[in-house]
Amino acid sequence: MNIRVLFFATYKQKIGKSEEWFSFSKPLSVRELKEHLRTQYSQGEIDFSSVLVSINKEFAFDDDIIPDGAEVAIFPPVSGGNRNYPTLIELTEDIFNTDEILRKLLLPTTGGSCVFIGFVRQFTGGEQNRQTAYLEYEAYEAMAKEKMKQVVNEIRERWPQVEGVAIVQRLGHLEPGSPTILVACTAAHRDLGIFEAARYGIDRVKEIVPVWKKEVGSRGEFWVEGSYLPKKGE
């Protein structure tokens, strides 16, 4: 198979060309192409791990198969927005300090913040009220951090005037009354999307960040599982 690979911005500069044709004995995935490029241009010490890829002008992902004759583009994340806005992403077994987190998000332009903090409930209502002795949180940590970064990027895309974003998830053994997660957004003014962004952030974390909790209490112990199934590209 033959494919045409186009290089843009940083990659075009470091490689020294804007395009190249490659021939392979069989179809390959985007992940395999990135590995091939990393080997092909190893002398340039180019990081292809975070590169964006498109196939025939549509965004492509690691498991996508590249068809014969495809036009493949290699480029960094699209420019735009303020890259100096502060971001805090953390998985920790320690209790967090809300004031300290907010100080890390503050800029001279910051005029407001919205903070969501979740806590371990001792009692869960409903028809069968149950008591919780403690929760055990665990995560697929490497993937969780990447997905937390994704949530931050989605927030910034939807609410470009949001300045600081923090997502802090606690792990391990947590007693009732303990804080479990913090999502905070700051901006120059309260009307610039911080309330909506913080709400979106906690909802999105619950959808795509691989963190689970085991509840131990009056009903014994069980893992609390969600129902959302991520779609391709999430």
Amino acid residing at 52 = L
Instruction: Supply the pTM of this predicted model.
Output: 0.65
Distances (CA, A) of 23 to 27, 70, 89, 142, 165: 10, 11, 41, 34, 44
Structural domain contains residue 113: yes
Does 45 have pLDDT greater than 80? no
Distances (CA, A) of 147 to 20, 74, 91, 187, 209: 33, 22, 12, 23, 5
pLDDT in tens, 61-93: 999 999 999 999 998 766 554 557 999 999 999
- Count of domains for the chain: 2
- Work out the average pLDDT over 34-38: 90
Which structural domain, as residue segments, surrounds residue 201? Answer: 87-224
207 and 92 in a single domain? The answer is: yes
Q: Which carries the bigger pLDDT value, residue 219 or residue 67?
A: 67
pLDDT (0 to 100) of residue 232: 77
62 and 157 in a single domain? The answer is: no
Interstrand relation of 172-174 and 19-23 (parallel, antiparallel or unpaired): unpaired
Structural domain contains residue 232: no
Look at residues 48, 75, 102 and tell me which one is the last residue of a structural domain: 75
Instruction: Name the band, by pLDDT with cuts 50, 70 and 90, for residue 128.
Output: low
pLDDT in tens, 159-210: 999 999 999 999 999 999 999 999 999 999 999 999 999 999 999 999 999 9
Q: How high is the mean pLDDT of the chain?
A: 89
Q: What is the CATH classification number for the domain harbouring 60?
A: 3.10.20.30
